[in-house]
Amino acid sequence: MNQYLLRMESKELQVFPYIIELAFKKITTIQFNSLKKEAKNFLRFYYVIDGKFEWIINNECHILFPGDLALVLPNQVFGGEKDFLDIGTVAWLHIESAPLDRSGKMNLGKWSNRIGLATVGQ
């Protein structure tokens, strides 16, 4: 399968205005600072296809193997344990989300047609 990286401004995603980024990437060499730890205000899904990935999610270390799916909630810190993408193949999807409401529930946004489905921090 070919690698790809589509961002919100690409013509392929114009019919999906809530998708920030969609990618399928095979990493064959280490590139320092390619996955620095940071928090973003959107939902992030990562699916490991091949390899072993050591990631920090919400300030906890997680080791992911083929078939594992990681969900990173808005404003959670995410990145490589050593600030780089490990060797392997991974697919990801970043989706726009609305801010948490006052009760701590996550508003998924207009794309989901649902508000306040998940409670964060239980």
* Residue extents of the structural domains in the chain: 4-119
Q: Hey, what amino acid is at 1?
A: M
pLDDT tens readout for residues 58-90? 999 999 999 999 999 888 999 999 999 999 999
pTM here is 0.83
Q: Which of 49, 52, 43, 54 is nearest to 83 (CA)?
A: 54
CATH 1.10.8.60 describes domain 4-119: no
Give the pLDDT band (50/70/90) at residue 99: low
Distance of alpha carbon 11 from its chain centroid, rounded? 21
Kindly tell me if the per-residue pLDDT of 116 is higher than 70. no
Instruction: Report d(CA 119, CA 99) in Å as an integer.
Output: 12
CA distances from 29 to 21, 85, 86 (A): 22, 9, 8
Kindly tell me if the per-residue pLDDT of 121 is higher than 60. no
SS3 65: coil
Report residue 71 as tokens: 């969900």
